Structure 1
């Protein structure tokens, strides 16, 4: 039965961030994820997780200057030292929260950049980061993101991501497969899942195309959830969607799976 993680960056935004942990637990979630924890002391987040019996499923490495529009630095030549420091910062939070999955964002392609150089930088940085994460029993993830929501992002297709994982050659580097992004860029999700599942370390969901609850739109989520069970996926499914009218009010889709959360 799928195990779901509430994404506290997009869900429960009617509450202050640190109060979202309690709200997710009240609604039956046993795990959470979010984009970035770094505005809050790691000890405060760890305390909320412990108080509400929640597992920290995932968060991102520091992605550069997010407020200025940066969306990761892992593939950007000249930022290697900053990327290495971001790995250490993320590991501090992973230790405090018990998180065992970290996502490294590639970044936006600079105008006129050499794509071969970006790929080489990405591979070298990921190899370093994966080895550091492996020392602590942590899986490193990369995620293809669609070009409609994030124009210019370096990594956009499933095969591209799995080819990079193979080139890096570290067993704890996996692909974060977000079905929302995959449907927009490529579709054929069930067959891609069958082809690539061994290299998938985390799954995320949202309705397509509006990015609301996974109860309407182009994708048949009950079918895909059942397929995950059939294929033996035992990781988390991150609910990275924007609720239509309040998070708790939109959780009818979650009720068939709620009692099976652990």
Structure 2
């Protein structure tokens, strides 16, 4: 059986963040995820989760200026100390909120001649995050992001994800697999999920190319969701899409799946 979580950073944006928990519950979700929860005290988030009987399954380590076009935090050699501070803050949230996974965004390298330095920094930082979050019983994941939406992103394919996972080699490190990003890169999501589902700690989805809800693009969700449902994967499926129309009109796919 598939278990869906609502990404409150992209869904229900018609409402302030504190009101999105109730909206998700009313639409039938049992779990939520937040890209960056740090605008709210962890205690306020916990109160909303308890009030509406919801589980927070995922959030990200802070990524500095990544979403504003910067390089992010996890791979920049000069930002190692800042990344460790961000991990420490995320750990405080994790101890209270008990997510299943915490995601690290690898970020960009805007100086191609320094790529290997950035990759080594990323390996070291992923190992540090995995060791730190394991103390709270939380698995660390990282994801590939398509290079159309984020040019210069240093992990933009399944092959790069697998290589990095093997190089770090930590038992509490896994993949966050995003169906939208890999579809945008024209990858065969069904083949990857069939071969590597055991390495995945979390799945997110949106249709492609517009990143809307299932049914607004070209992704064959019937096949992919059926494959995941029949696999050993027991994690959550994060609805991380930009609704075409209102959030409330975007959930027809839930009735099907």
* TM-score normalised according to structure 1 size: 0.94
Gaps of 5+ in 1: 258-262
Q: Distance in 1 between matches of 2:205 and 2:68?
A: 27
Identify the residue that residue 260 of structure 1 maps to in structure 2: none
- How many residues are matched? 257
Q: Distance in 2 between matches of 1:169 and 1:112?
A: 25
Identify the residue that residue 166 of structure 1 maps to in structure 2: 166
Identify the residue that residue 59 of structure 2 maps to in structure 1: 59
Q: 130-139 vs 70-79, which deviates more?
A: 70-79
Identify the residue that residue 182 of structure 1 maps to in structure 2: 182
1:66 Cα deviation after fit: 5.0
Identify the residue that residue 239 of structure 1 maps to in structure 2: 239
Q: Distance in 2 between matches of 1:71 and 1:179?
A: 23
SS state at 1:87 partner: helix
Render the CA deviation track for 1:172-227: whole Å, top value 9, x for unaligned: 10111000000111321101111211111111110111111112321111211110
Gaps of 5+ in 2: none
Identify the residue that residue 82 of structure 1 maps to in structure 2: 82
1:248 Cα deviation after fit: 1.3
Asked whether the 8 Å contact 1:157–1:186 carries over to 2, the reply is: no
Asked whether the 8 Å contact 2:197–2:232 carries over to 1, the reply is: no
Render the CA deviation track for 1:41-65: whole Å, top value 9, x for unaligned: 1100110011111110111001113
Asked whether the 8 Å contact 1:7–1:239 carries over to 2, the reply is: yes
Higher RCO (Cα < 8 Å, 6 or more apart): 1
Identify the residue that residue 204 of structure 2 maps to in structure 1: 204
* TM-score normalised according to structure 2 size: 0.96
